[in-house]
Structures are given as structure tokens and as C-alpha cells.
């Protein structure tokens, strides 16, 4: 494998360890470059991590936060990943950080694509840390295997792509593979035996049927999996 797997006895232990590591990485970035940047996933998994980080005594004013992906909804919508980050991570010390949204005015992601791209230009890439989740279908960020826009996300040179799904779900804006790999390290935070089985399948070789394989089977950026049952 071209990546490392860290297995923990409990999910709390995984959150504690990752929180400690993220604080260390961001502190080192501020010390060496006078700025730090991190891209965060949404969903139900990372909330406890964000709550731990919210009270960390970091130089948040020099830290920029963005999302790996987000649904094309307003920031106060319950489905918004930005809303999750603001309500959990940015509820404490981290409120001093700057967040760069993946949502802009427009009825559809394609309408706001230029504005989102311009916002991402404010971040000094490479990102210091990317924290992603993974679905049981092998998707990460909003790079879904069944999406008609998957190739835009996997092969596009831009930092973000408008993503549709064919199952009636909300449209998305996602960082592209190019942007996610323009980072110093990637963390894949997953729980449960089912997702570990998907991970093992994806590690066998790059396949668009399991988009996470594009990150597991590469040697450009170190990738570490944090896993608990």
C-alpha cells in the first residue's frame, strides 16, 4: 500500500489522535509560513473532531478553512457542510479563522463556478491538510462514481467542479482531484468494517468505479487513514 492505516480502539480515540495531529500540523504551518490552510469534509462523521478543534489554542487568525465539497444550498441550510463547520469548529477559538465557502450566488453550481474559483484563489496552495471521508460507494469529496460530472472532478485542471448526481440528490460543488492533491497531506477518516472493505478494494488499483482509489493509489501526497470500528 502507498498509504498508512492507523487503527484505533474507539472512535473517540481516533478523534483525539487526529485532533492532536491537526493542531500540530497547523501550528507548524503558521510557524514556518506565517499561515495555515485546511480543507474539511462534511457529513456526520467529522463533527466530534471539529468540536475538539474548536477549543484548540491555535493562531486561528492566520488559518484559512475551506470544504472538500458542499451541497449547493445556502449556508444556513441543514444540508450545508459550511453550516456544520461554522456550528461546530467555528463556535469557539476557531471563530477567528477565515472560511472560504464552496457556495456562491446562483441557482446551480455551474452558475456560481467562477465566483467559487475566485474565492479559492485567496488560499495559498498547497493546502496544509485535507481531511476527507469516504462513502460505501467509494466516493470522496463529491467525486461520485455514478456522477455524469465525475471526469470534471478527476481530470479537470481547475480547483473546483460543479457536480451533479443521477439519483435526485442535491447538486454539489467539489474540490477536484487536482486541488486535493495540491496539499501537504491527506487524511481519510472512516469508521466501520464495511468501509474498511471498500478501502481494501480501492487499494488494489485506480478505478473510476471507486474514486477514492485515485487518492490511495498515488505517490504525490502522503495519505493516512484513521480508522476505528
151: left (phi over 0), alpha (psi -120 to 50) or beta: alpha
Taking every pair of Cα atoms in the chain, the longest distance, rounded to a whole number of angstroms, is: 45
Parse the chain into domains and list their residue ranges: 4-228
- Average pLDDT on 184-193 reads 98
**Residue pLDDT, tens place only, 47-98:** 999 999 999 999 999 999 999 999 999 999 999 999 999 999 999 999 999 9
**Residue pLDDT, tens place only, 108-154:** 999 999 999 999 999 989 999 999 999 999 999 999 999 999 999 99
Q: State yes or no: pLDDT of 104 exceeds 70.
A: yes
Interatomic CA distance for residues 99 and 47, integer angstroms:
17
Question: Model pTM?
Answer: 0.96
Res. 1 pLDDT band, cuts 50 70 90: low
Instruction: Report whether CATH 3.40.50.12280 matches the domain 4-228.
Output: no
pLDDT at 43: 87
What strands, in cross-sheet order, belong to the sheet with 172-175?
Answer: 69-71, 172-175, 160-163
Amino acid at each position: 500500500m502507498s498509504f498508512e492505516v492507523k487503527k484505533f480502539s474507539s472512535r473517540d480515540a481516533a478523534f483525539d489522535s487526529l485532533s492532536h495531529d491537526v493542531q500540530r500540523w497547523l501550528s507548524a504551518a503558521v510557524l514556518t509560513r506565517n499561515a495555515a490552510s485546511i480543507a474539511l469534509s462534511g457529513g456526520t462523521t467529522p463533527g466530534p473532531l471539529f468540536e475538539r478543534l474548536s477549543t484548540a489554542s491555535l493562531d486561528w487568525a492566520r488559518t484559512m478553512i475551506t470544504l472538500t465539497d458542499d451541497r449547493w444550498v445556502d449556508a444556513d441550510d441543514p444540508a450545508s457542510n459550511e453550516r456544520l463547520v461554522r456550528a461546530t469548529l467555528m463556535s469557539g477559538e476557531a471563530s477567528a479563522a477565515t472560511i472560504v465557502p464552496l457556495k456562491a450566488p446562483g441557482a446551480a453550481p455551474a452558475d456560481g463556478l467562477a465566483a467559487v474559483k475566485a474565492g479559492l484563489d485567496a488560499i495559498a496552495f498547497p493546502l496544509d491538510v485535507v481531511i476527507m471521508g469516504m462513502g460505501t460507494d467509494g466516493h470522496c469529496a463529491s467525486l461520485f462514481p455514478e456522477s455524469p460530472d465525475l471526469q470534471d472532478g478527476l481530470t479537470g485542471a481547475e480547483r473546483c467542479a460543479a457536480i451533479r448526481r443521477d439519483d435526485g440528490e442535491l447538486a454539489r460543488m467539489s474540490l477536484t482531484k487536482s486541488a486535493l492533491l495540491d496539499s501537504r497531506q491527506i487524511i481519510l477518516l472512516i469508521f466501520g468494517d464495511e468501509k474498511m472493505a471498500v478501502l481494501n478494494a480501492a487499494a488494489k488499483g485506480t478505478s473510476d468505479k471507486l474514486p477514492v482509489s485515485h487518492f490511495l493509489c498515488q505517490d504525490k501526497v502522503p495519505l493516512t487513514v484513521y480508522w476505528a470500528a
